[in-house]
Structure 1
Amino acid sequence: MTNRYPVPSDAAAIAALRWSLVIIFFFFGIAKFATYEAEGVAKIASQYPLFAWMYPIWGAQGASNVIGTIELSTGAALAIGAWSARVSLLGGLMGMCTFLITLSFLLGAPLWEPGYGAPFIGGIAQFLLKDAGLLAGCFAIAVTSARKAGFARD
């Protein structure tokens, strides 16, 4: 039977995923340089062991600037990865690390706000749970790039 409807290629799907992630990392990264975002991130990150050490040294804005620089670097690696499988793999792995870290915040965060109760999650859980999809996107980029670069096979 002949396929009656054209279906985009896997490469087109990965390209759409890549450029979506580039946009997300760009805007999330840029936002970290703004005071409102630095203060918002500090509410969660300053209590988290992986980041807590930065706040006494650099303050909320300095710590946020470091996080923003990492996010912008990840987005740049993903963008350059459109032409380099090795850089794409690096960007995918950096993105995976980013989202594994943010998802680990769920371990100590209040998932349910008072008055809601399970299964109705609160704002922090909503903010963090979207990262599961972004993690999967970075994983898909990393796997595809590893194969393309010759580090893995089907």
Structure 2
Amino acid sequence: MTPLHLRIVLILVAISTTLLGLSMLLIGPHRHITLTTDFYRLTDLLPANTSNIIAAVAFLGCAVLSIIAIKKINLRPWLGYLLMVISLVPLGSLFASTMWIEALGGFPVIGSGQGVIKYFALFSIAWFLIKPNLSGYQAAYISLFPVLLVLLWIGGMKFTLFEAQGIEGLVNSSPLMSWMYSLWELQTVSNLIGVYDLVAVLLLIVAIYRRELLYPAMLMSGAVFIVTQTFLLSFSSSLSGTTLLSTTGHFLVKDLWFLANLICFYAVAQTLTSKQRIEHIEENISFPK
């Protein structure tokens, strides 16, 4: 990865963790922290306010380290380890039934866990910081996995009425997307967004092997997460004058991590030669003789 790409990744981490850390301090104890402490049976041991402060300070520590690590290369692995811990703690709570919608059959119908699976993106960034010399295809898969996961999983959820109703407020608030409701019904709009996400998944997978599809794949998938950031401005419940972000804002700002994943993937994909791509395909796909 080039120094420029890595600087951009660190800046995105710094922005997101600063907003999350400060907002968590201002909001105080909230449900998302409680769901995690409940899973680890810590709720009775640690006061809710203490758990919230620990999480907020961890995010702010990441923000400070991210800014310093732009210049201080030797701090990047330490930042990676901290990010890895911050991501693994909530990811472990995916084993809790509270993360899934029991009324719709539980796993894989994801509810509160939608915000949690975004920590896979942070874990991927951590891995890059700890292991900066990963081979080309290893790096490509590690950077792409979180993006493919969220687009496939949450994109697939778009075909359910539950998700169609869940995104209505966000889509309606957006000048970029609200026009869709004037043309199609609620579920149809959600279905179209789901199809878009799944097409982006296919393009990203093929782009690993076909460099000419890299730019369309980046534009199509990157647009998903850029549009999500516009909801911070268009959706009135995202920002707060007293707490910076609401919990909805927390959910949205985490998509900056997926943009960082895509930047990592783009930087890696640019270095893969045609010969490497052909050799990788031949090694992993058996053709009949």
State the alpha-carbon separation in 1 of the partners of residues 142 and 183 from structure 2.
39
Q: Which amino acid aligns with 1:12?
A: Q
Q: Which segment drifts farther, 15-24 or 31-40?
A: 15-24
- Structure 2 counterpart of 1:90: 216
Q: Which amino acid aligns with 1:84?
A: R
**Structure 1 residues 10 and 41 mapped into 2: Cα distance closer, same or farther (>3 Å)?**
same
- Structure 2 counterpart of 1:53: 179
How many positions carry a matched residue from both structures? 143
Q: Which of the pair has more CA radius of gyration? A: 2
- Structure 2 counterpart of 1:111: 238
State the alpha-carbon separation in 1 of the partners of residues 167 and 273 from structure 2.
35
5+ residue gaps, structure 1, are: none
Matches within 5 A, 1:42-81: 42-81=168-207
State the alpha-carbon separation in 2 of the partners of residues 128 and 149 from structure 1.
35
State the alpha-carbon separation in 2 of the partners of residues 42 and 93 from structure 1.
24
- Structure 1 counterpart of 2:157: 31
Query: How well do the aligned residues superpose, as a CA RMSD in angstroms?
Result: 2.6
Q: CA deviation at 1:112?
A: 4.8
Q: Are 2:250 and 1:126 equivalent residues in the alignment?
A: yes
Q: CA deviation at 1:92?
A: 1.9
TM-score in terms of structure 2 length:
0.45
State the alpha-carbon separation in 1 of the partners of residues 225 and 257 from structure 2.
9
- Structure 2 counterpart of 1:140: 264
Q: CA deviation at 1:85?
A: 1.7
- Structure 1 counterpart of 2:78: none
Q: Which amino acid aligns with 1:87?
A: L
Q: Which secondary structure state, in structure 1, belongs to the residue aligned with residue 184 of structure 2?
A: helix
